Structure 1
Amino acid sequence: MLGRVRRSPRLRRLAASLGAWYIRLVDRTTRWEIPDPALRDRIRGQRERIVIAIWHGRLLMIPAEMPPGGRVHAMISANRDGDIIADCVGRFGIASMRGSSRDPRKPHKRKGGAAVAAEAMELLAEHERIAVALSPDGPRGPRMRAQPGVATVSATMGVPVMPFSYSTNRGFVAGSWDGFFVPLPFGRGVKVWGPVIEPPEDRSPEGIEAHRLHIEQALTRITQDADRRMGRTPVEPAAPGARR
């Protein structure tokens, strides 16, 4: 069935429509707690250039957090599954940058991750008020292990990083490489923004690596804290150096 959806443009559009409907259903029927609404308002106010960092397994609810009519771009995989996701998030006003990280098992295939990082930096250079949403561990993992892209974009452009995560008391973790969390409607939830991670003054490889590690640790901390607040067992990062 999934293969049929991927092959059919009509079914891909239907899947995107259902996905957007489900995100709105969960968002509107969940009693959300926002620990720091000022940080959320900082994103919604669109007063600056900023990079939003989200673990791949917690991407589902980010479209509902984006400001209506704002300038937001998100990295989406350049495949048919990505077509569905791009259509889905587009219904929330989010533009797509199409690409993904290189699969080390298939070095002959170029997925466009470097091109997307370059596009992200161009957008940040061109606009004074813009949010670029990137997943540091996506789309190939390892789970909750930040790759260098987000840190490099942030450091190169001198733009802060705003982590985002969420959890709910009703939902389940899919058996996918990223531990994708699927919230269910009519429950309680928490959406966590921040803390803001300022770009490093040291843009050497060592400085960017320290920035990468800071982003990774902050995202993991808020994700696991959100799970604990909702009475859930936190998802653990993959072992260092693990593959998808």
Structure 2
Amino acid sequence: MKLNDKQKNIARFLGIRAGYFLINFLAKTYRITRINGNYLDDMIDKGENFVVAFWHGSMIPGWYLHKNFNSAALVSKSKDGEVLYHILNKWGYKVVRGSSHVGGKEALEEMISLLKEKHTLVITPDGPRGPRHKMKAGAVIAAKKAGTPLILAGIYIKNKICLNSWDKFEFPLPFTKINVKYSEPIYIDKELDYDATSKLINNSELYLKKLQEEAEKID
């Protein structure tokens, strides 16, 4: 049966509603272990904000875990992004619509503005379309221009369903163990030139990959 536009809109609305309740319910069952989480705790206790970045494929625990830090997020303008937009809104995020492909310049400017307004920016640096585990510039540039530190988070999900998508999206199963290993805060000199900033982006990508591997090895 082929759906008309009205039926598609109804189906999308129901999917958004069901998706939020399902993910929110399951997330409360996860057994999460944080390594170096004191870096975040110390900054929050001091009233400081930051940029936290994790890979797109592990976004469910990533978004859930960082939702209570006066958080803001970048979500693509696609129809898939619409579902995520509503979930993050329910979790209290300030949501910016855009990506490196659509509305990128405007989205970056708004992210920098939100950081200056003391929001914590939560971002998947290889999203929204990859390549997988290839860090784009947004997280580093936003942290640099706003004068806030960058924290990288490797996330390992033990029991999950892996989708056949570009990011090998991981859907955590109920009561699964999840390890999150953070980097120390990375402070970025606002005066870094283009070449030094590009090198920092590459080094941050390698560092996040290392954190991801280390999170997988934790018992």
TM-score class normalised by the smaller sequence: 0.7 to 0.9
Q: Which runs of 5+ in 2 are unaligned?
A: none
Q: Distance in 1 between matches of 2:8 and 2:88?
A: 19
* Percent of residue pairs identical: 23
Q: Residue 118 in 1 paired to residue 109 in 2?
A: yes
Q: Are the counterparts in 2 of residues 66 and 92 from structure 1 also a CA contact under 8 Å?
A: no
Question: Counterpart of 1:33?
Answer: 33
Q: Tell me what 2:10 maps to.
A: 10
Summarize the Cα distance change of 1:60–1:155 in structure 2 as closer, same or farther, 3 Å threshold: same
Q: Residue 21 and residue 224 in structure 1: after superposition, are their counterparts in 2 closer, same or farther (change >3 A)? A: farther
Aligned residue number for residue 203 of structure 2: 214
Summarize the Cα distance change of 1:112–1:26 in structure 2 as closer, same or farther, 3 Å threshold. same
TM-superposition CA deviations, 1:83-111 (whole Å, max 9, x none): 11100111110121001122xxxxxxxx1
RMSD: 2.6
Distance 1:46 1:91 in 2: 26
User: How many residue pairs align between the two structures?
Assistant: 218
Letter in 1 for 2:28: R
- 1:64 corresponds in structure 2 to 64
Structure-2 change in CA distance of 1:81 and 1:121 (3 Å): same
Q: How far did 1:178 drift?
A: 1.1
Which residue matches 2:163?
174
Partner amino acid, structure 1, of 2:15: A
C-alpha distance in 2, partners of 1:144/1:158?
Answer: 25
Q: CA deviation at 1:5?
A: 10
Contact between 1:52 and 1:163, CA under 8 Å: does it hold in 2?
yes
Q: 1:101 to 1:7 in 2, by over 3 A?
A: farther
- 1:1-244 superposed matches below 5 A: 8-42=8-42, 45=45, 47-68=47-68, 70-102=69-101, 111-125=102-116, 127=117, 129-200=118-189, 202-229=191-218
Q: 1:180 to 1:4 in 2, by over 3 A?
A: farther
TM-score in terms of structure 2 length: 0.87
Closer, same or farther in 2 for the Cα pair 1:88/1:4, shift >3 Å? farther
Q: Secondary structure at the match of 2:164?
A: coil
Report deviation, 1:11.
2.9
Q: Supply the distance in 1 between the matched residues of 2:28 and 2:139 (Cα, whole angstroms).
A: 30
